[in-house]
Amino acid sequence: MGDLVKYANKFCPKGVSHSHDRGTKLKNNKITCFLCNPYGDSIAINFSKYCCKNTNTYKLDKNQKCALFLGFNYLRNKYNINVPVEIFLIINDIYKSLTKPLKIDSHSIKHMMNCYKCSNEFMLMIDEHSCNRHMLPRITRNSRFDDI
């Protein structure tokens, strides 16, 4: 996670007023941190967000292509069904049209920092779930009275 923190600091969240700092003690010490608390880990693991602007899509790997090929062979041998080769391409295309969910990883962080649809939500997530040990881009609120 430490490397991801460094990585996140390379970016400025698009359209979000922020500063790169450790947050405020009072507020951040109350919470379970998704970066360094074992209970907080699940927050990072469970984080999942879809964005239509995300370019990371699924792709059939070699094993999956092989499995499809074997499956088509099986159909031909057992039921005498000849699956046209276009079906293979169509399945491949369906996969390529599906965007993966954004997770806490370098691709997703880069995307969320640079995407107007994602940056605010990601900044709120960081603000809610990271303790004051981490230097991170953090959303600037109009008033920090809610820290007291």
In the complex, which residues of this chain contact Zn ion (CB under 5 A)? 12, 33, 35-36, 51, 53, 115, 117-118, 131, 133
CB of 29 to Zn ion, least distance (A): 10
Nearer to Zn ion, 53 or 65 (CB): 53
Nearer to Zn ion, 76 or 144 (CB): 144
Q: Of 1, 114, 14, 12, give the one whose Cα is nearest residue 54.
A: 114
CB of 39 to Zn ion, least distance (A): 11
CB of 105 to Zn ion, least distance (A): 14
How many other CB atoms are there within 10 angstroms of residue 84's CB atom? 9
Nearer to Zn ion, 64 or 120 (CB): 120
- Residue 100: CB partners within 8 Å, gap ≥ 6? 54, 56, 57, 58
Alpha helices in the chain (DSSP H): 2-8, 25-28, 41-46, 62-79, 85-97, 106-114, 119-129
Nearer to Zn ion, 24 or 92 (CB): 24
Q: Output the six-digit token pair for 106.
A: 């370098």
- DSSP letter, residue 58: -
28: three-class secondary structure by DSSP: helix
CB of 145 to Zn ion, least distance (A): 23
